[in-house]
Amino acid sequence: MRTAVIVFPGSNCDRDAQVALHAAFGAPPAMVWHRETDLPPLDLIVLPGGFSYGDYLRSGAMAAQSPVLRALREQAERGVLVLGICNGFQVLTEAGLLPGVLMRNAGLKFVCRDVGLVVENTESPFTRGYARGQAVTIPVAHHDGNYYADDATLDRLEGEGRVAFRYAPHDNPNGSARDIAGILNERGNVLGMMPHPERAVDKLHCGVDGQAVFTGLVEALAA
Amino acid sequence: MTALAATLDITPELVAEHGLSADEYALILEIMGREPNITELGVFSAMWSEHCSYKSSKVWLKTLPTEGPRVICGPGENAGVVDIGDGLAAVFKIESHNHPSFIEPYQGAATGVGGILRDVFTMGARPIANLNALRFGAPDHEKTRHLVSGVVAGIGGYGNCIGVPTVAGETEFHPAYNGNILVNAMTVGIADANRIFYSAAGGPGNPVVYVGSKTGRDGIHGATMASAEFDDDSDEKRPTVQVGDPFTEKLLLEACLELMATDAIVGIQDMGAAGLTSSGVEMASKGGVGVELDLDRVPMREAGMTPYELMLSESQERMLMVLKPGHEDTARAIFEKWELDFAVIGRVTDTGRLVLKFHGETVGDIEVAPLVANAPEYERPWEPTPKAPVIDAADIAAPGDPMAALKTMLGGAHLCSRRWIWEQYDHMVMADTVQRPGGDAAVVRLHGSSRGLAVTTDATPRYCLADPVEGGRQAVAEAWRNLTAVGATPLAITNNLNFGNPEKPRIMGQLAGCVTGMGEACRALAFPVVSGNVSLYNETSGEAILPTPVVGGLGLIADLERTVGVAIPGEGLDLVLVGETAGWMGSSLYLREVAGREEGAPPPVDLAAEKRNGDFVRALIEAGRVAACHDLSDGGLLVAAAEMALAGNIGAEISGPPAGLPLPGWLFGEDQARYLIACADGASVAADAAKAGVPAAIVGRTGGNTLTAAGSHTISVGELRRCHEGWLPSYMARP
């Protein structure tokens, strides 16, 4: 299975994603520089966390215009799996691959802590490793995680089962609409999520609740 | 030499404005053999500032132990380097950004983090942990909240973006910092032990290369500002504060590490305080060579900059390096990939002189050796601090309810949870944080291994004020103890000496005392000083801060499976108190916060007992016999037990005092060299302690959801948590 992590100037969770993918897939992902205009055939592309282009202008806005995003968009349209974590989620919304926007946290401060999540959709390749309604703990670390979309879009996301993760009741760290922590695209092959599953894959982390994202992907791609 | 002639008269006023005394100027005339021009005066001013020259502190710094079997590089380079085995070295240093942070808290603190990160990666290390030590004024002072909010946001803004976890630190409030806060930032990095990069220039003819951001007019004279007292007009100094760009620093970090993996670099030095001046002079001086710089080639942010401005700008995210001949193209390609400026701005010479060219003329020409070697060094007069009276524990009234006293302490500014602060820092990025903020020391894994580093920052300024020597000892001992409490072997320290005006004998006595105490403790605990920073003139309108010698400690953990934290992990464990409790109340937190008395001799530090007790505890942890461990410091036994209960969300019971010891002394005394450990078999631990000559006794048991002391005093863990977690968020949210 061929996996890749896109590296933008300012990405800083690229190595963390690399480690998690390597452990789950048994082989290291390709690390792809943002200036690449072509991508090799891939099964899974990860957009990692960080501050691409310094988050100047808006989080993810400049990365969404980078050369590699054109190639990524083509692959996504062909059904290749794309996982955007944190800044990666912001890039996906800015690129229009996912609906809605990620605004400044309601508390206006950067927040780094473990949060409780509820897995809402277990049909997707990203979440099949979980049980429906499963409560998990995964860290967040962001300044702009306040997910917003208009009611019609939110209703549609919910109606189509595209809310993959929700913050547990009373544990929403950023004020996101309907406690949304992660969403899927219409086709179900693109997931954006604010929490960092790659920071919860090791017994020395806060726990290993993030591991099922990666092991689920391994199973999905093997199936 | 027309340009060398002064276009501006060098008047006594101009000399004074540059922070140079008449005697110092006379020495400059002697070195130059002529009158300096304004650019040259600026170079001397920066190099001879307190900040760059350590002229008041050097005689004392020389007394500190700086060597040990693990030390690869001690003070004098960009950061200290210690051998941590397996071919790796830890590179670390702490540095202050006090003055800029008071003037402009966000940028001041942010660029403090940026500066210390550069010091570490300049040496070839990838930064893996950031720490900080913060001191603010009284909570009710009008500026305090604004400063807390800005400093914390600035530290987070920089560290979060560059992607280095901020894992530990300390924060204190005291009116003595009302007009002069302290922001000390520390970075720890990891490098191959045989690929450390130093700053010495070498090889006449080799290119001198400038990389990073462009040079602007920001921060001109920052080093001089950091060497003067504040007055009521300090806001007017805002233009001397630099502006940070963590994104550019991230690019600079990756580009430098990429270049360092090749064989291109002779020497490299970041441009920190005094910018191009100090980096150029340092590199030439260390290499015993000269440097000629063509200032027209410096990448500039704005037009019309003068040589004076170019040499003294403190624009951030810049590096100076000397490359081996023929490696310019390799280096240029790397920096262009990372979209950073790259310019050959000069060359190494064999003249031993710093020569500055601008528009084809020589605008500066200074012999480097005397500029560095003849920098003033003062043996400033000092007065020993008068001894504070020892306070008899029996004279302290017992609290009506010790739990009410505990709530006052844990629910107040000094001991409340710092969660509001560290949740604004990404403390997990790099995915190697094993022990997070809030414990005795943070623990980060050495990537891809089962080993780790423990890191902490510590100082107890109220002890230092009452007795600088004892306070100096205690700062080192507490850092050593905090590392020990997580199971680490303490290796070395970096220190940040924050004091008032050294020209006052009373202040100089504080510095002398603290350094003396630190040296004693470092020697006794085999805990050498490998890097550090001195920040003096921390005064506003004549009022000095508390003497604040911050210690940044580094320890090594051989097996991360065996590290322990403060959280009580289960019910029915014995609580064993290691170390002797005499009930020391002088300068204790209880005395200040509950009895309202800020006085008395601080607890004496018995360094032999520290070593014996700590080595015993560490061996227990390494043997897997400890479930949780906490060092006893501010607030003593009951505070330690409460913090362990809060962290584990499990209650505990603490017995009454041994015969003859008053209750406040037992529960709140701050005797040193003590640890509280939770373990399954307290009796065998106590028996082994007795064999090792270490005082230890079972003083309680874990379980339930309340904390009980001396039989009858009880509080629920939930209520404790509300006070402990409540203070800081509600303080910061006050309208």
What 3-state DSSP class applies to B135? strand
- Provide mean pLDDT across the span B552-561: 97
Q: Which residues contact A169 (CB under 8 A, 6 or more apart)?
A: A179
The distance in angstroms from the start CA to the end CA of chain B is 62
Residue B426's CB: how many other CB atoms inside 10 A? 33
Q: How confident is the model at residue B1 (pLDDT cuts 50, 70, 90)?
A: very low
User: DSSP for A87-98?
Assistant: HHHHHHHHTTSS
CA–CA distance, A183 with A168 (Å, rounded to integer): 15
B186-211 pLDDT tens trace: 999 999 999 999 999 999 999 999 99
**pLDDT score at B222:** 61
Q: How many domains does chain A have?
A: 1
Helix B682-692 × helix B607-622 angle, to 10°: 140
| Chain A residues with beta carbon closer than 8 angstroms to that of B339 | 9
Distance of CA B138 to the CA centre of its chain: 21
**Cβ pair A54:B425 closer than 8 A:** no
**pLDDT score at B228:** 65
In our burial notation (b when 16+ CB lie closer than 10 A, e otherwise), range B400-414 reads eebbebbbebbbbbb
Counting beta carbons within 10 angstroms of the beta carbon of residue B299, is it exposed (0 to 12), middle (13 to 18) or buried (19 or more)? Answer: middle
- Provide mean pLDDT across the span A142-159: 98
CA–CA distance, A126 with A217 (Å, rounded to integer): 6
Q: Using H for helix, E for strand and C for coil, what is the string for B415-461?
A: CCCCHHHHCCCCCCCCCCEEECCCCCCEEEECCCCCCEEEEEEECCH
**Does position B2 have pLDDT exceeding 50, yes or no?**
no
The distance in angstroms from the start CA to the end CA of chain A is 11
**Residue that is written with structure tokens 């300390």 in the block:** B170
**Cβ pair B161:A51 closer than 8 A:** yes
Chain A residues contacting B, CB < 8 Å? 9-10, 12-13, 15-16, 19-20, 49-51, 53-56, 109-113, 139, 141, 143, 196, 198-199, 201-202, 204-205
Token pair for B24: 């110092």
Is B97 among the residues known to form the active site? yes
**Does position A82 have pLDDT exceeding 90, yes or no?**
yes
B361-399 pLDDT tens trace: 999 999 999 999 999 999 999 999 999 999 988 888 877
| Chain A residues with beta carbon closer than 8 angstroms to that of B161 | 10, 12, 51, 54-55
B238-297 pLDDT tens trace: 566 788 999 999 999 999 999 999 999 999 999 988 899 999 999 999 999 999 999 999
**pLDDT score at A71:** 96
What 3-state DSSP class applies to A108? coil
Type and span of the H or E element at B173: strand B166-173
CATH number, domain with residue A183: 3.40.50.880
CA–CA distance, B693 with B318 (Å, rounded to integer): 54
Phi, psi of B134 (to 5 degrees): -120, 140
- Reported pTM: 0.96
| Chain A residues with beta carbon closer than 8 angstroms to that of B149 | none
Name the residue in chain B with its Cα closest to that of A109.
Answer: B424
Name the residue in chain A with its Cα closest to that of B429.
Answer: A13
B421-445 pLDDT tens trace: 999 999 999 999 999 999 999 999 9
**Cβ pair B161:A54 closer than 8 A:** yes
**Residue pair B466/B599 in contact by the 8 Å Cβ criterion:** yes
**Does position B494 have pLDDT exceeding 90, yes or no?**
yes
B443-464 pLDDT tens trace: 999 999 999 999 999 999 999 9
Residues spanned by the domain of A66: 3-222
Phi, psi of B678 (to 5 degrees): -105, 130
**Does position B701 have pLDDT exceeding 70, yes or no?**
yes
- Provide mean pLDDT across the span B653-674: 96
Alpha carbon of B159: minimum distance to chain A alpha carbons (Å) = 11
Count how many pairs of residues, chain A against chain B, have C-beta atoms within 8 Å.
79
A106-141 pLDDT tens trace: 999 999 999 999 999 999 999 999 999 999 999 999
Phi, psi of B552 (to 5 degrees): -105, 115
Mutate to test the interface with B, among A22, A204, A214 (most CBs of B within 10 A): A204
Tell me how far CA of residue B17 lies from CA of B10, B11, B221, B225, B235, in angstroms.
11, 10, 11, 11, 17
Sheet holding B265-270, edge to edge: B265-270, B318-323, B207-212, B341-349, B290-294, B353-358, B361-367
Name the residue in chain B with its Cα closest to that of A53.
Answer: B247
Is B51 among the residues known to form the active site? yes
**Cβ pair B160:A55 closer than 8 A:** no
The sign of the dihedral angle between the CA atoms of B407, B409, B415, B420 is: positive
| Mean of per-residue pLDDT scores for chain A | 97
**pLDDT score at B239:** 60
Token pair for B319: 């590096």
**pLDDT score at B234:** 59
Token pair for A118: 């509820």
